[in-house]
Structure 1
């Protein structure tokens, strides 16, 4: 009679791992699975990882890898010629797979198999001309990393968020701000947005460019009209447009920066910009946006009740909790009024609660 052999299945491999971890011997495991001891011994020797030991999923992967006989494009020269000929025309793997399926009335090959075949050739032959068969011409899968490291390395005097005063985190102390740029689809259009953490008040100034010197100039103009107790710190991300942040030291404002690739650490301004997208979408052309509409959009945000403020508006909280500081500088900003960026780029003026500029066009 012929001798038959049945491969171990995943369930049996799970049982081997459990019994082996429990200290059972090879013969005990073999008896429990009704398998020859040599089968268990071979399984443990061949499919155990150096660092992870014997793991059922890893053992299953090892078994499949040994049984792999190459991709279809390696086994079928005719199919390989058909695929490469179409790739040579500039078709993407997905287009090639879809067209072949249409011509044959069934799926012939998946686009994933084509990608794997091309990248396998790059790895095995080190012939990087194979990447020209792909629409993007990439020699590796995934996103390409940015060169030069994080922009944080180009910011002089950068202080990490870890060193920011603990009192900033609970949002109970006024005078701590966050700043970012609200970007738009058209190149060169952006709004400098500044957000007060306690009241959630938002200020906005359209910018003609992202030059660090210009951004710093507008930040100084925004904050210089405020009394000293409510201009304590500002938190930025690591964009180089904030590289001239040291200019704020003239106003005794301390500046801090989020960790690289962690803009969520200044979540207040991120949330505010997201809310402003309801009024001013990303595809808005700022050159065609009326000045009055921009003012009304910022006023609408500042006069919308917020759950986090017990359904008060940022304007109300800013007036009641921030502008009550009695110091000499409050004479320039009366109680009951809010600040908004001068959309003409001339700095900051006083505005009525409805968002109308005092002394500006109506």
Structure 2
């Protein structure tokens, strides 16, 4: 039936021309109807370059001459990542401006060789362009620049099946590291809180629970593959390919819901906001950061720690300790004190929330004294008043305490970074008193078993165990 309709529409066209049309159509698969063709790639490249400078989607859309709904659709369908190469094509290919010139000259009745001379192109290039990329919906060839550009772009696409689609083993490995279950040391599964379902937007809800998972980053997964499968080249994938599988619709075999396992929880690639930290408290001159030993700044020597609190609703808190050399993390359980919630809070009254100076000293001392003496040399804290009894803490543990300068969280970079990782499990605005010591240990185990780029993709647990072994070997050598 289709052939009969085509013959009826083109009955007055010479057979030689019709034969050439059929030959041109046989060179590529059937195309969908363009409707209104998309803007040229020149416009799309300009749009993505503007996005890279940090302007909003609406501003970038208006600048390149498309409506903001179109620009928003481009941005969301691509997951905030440019779906095309932003480099300008070589002079080998016809540009949209040249196609517009061809359409104008053709409308004026210019021949192929005249157009070729005007554009300084080979006549064969112009002839193929007029035959292959002309609009033929009405049964006749009519050359229009927008349709020709759309056809050229469609013919130039080289869709490639994503690696995660064809490699089941690799896909299972990636999904397990992204959305694996959190377990205690004995292998018991910790389900974590009930989180909201993914609705296609950012999955880092404000003051609400998030899904607990192993949550390795794409970069950690990509580089860890080389360690786990050193001789299997099929088990290789770049972190950018993983991000594309998560962000771009129809790319790869990963479900977009897995963006909830990313630390940021965002479903689109966008600029990262800066967090604020407002440390408080008073310290004496002998415990300021400038008085800290020089070896504490050198991460080559283990035993120097950084610490802070992460705060939840209802004055709930969890203490975090991070070793600067191995990046090993300890989570300090700070349970409520007796009498909490039974009577109104009294200003300057007893601290019952769990992180008063006395309770804080006891909890920190219990965590630090479980370590070998050589691995608890110093502790750098922010200016919070919860560690105001630091002198007593030093007497009990032998760990010298130093305080960072006011409004200077970058002086505790390892701890600040780790607190950001832990917020995936303990979001702001949630009640942290729900979790017992075993739950905190399970989360610490999950974080300590993530590979880190700064550790050459070893895990903090592996590096910390190496430090312990070195201490034991040194102790044996000294005894002998």
TM (norm. structure 1) is 0.46
Structure richer in strand, relative to its length: 1
TM (norm. structure 2) is 0.35
Which of the pair has the greater relative contact order for Cα pairs under 8 Å at 6+ separation? Answer: 2
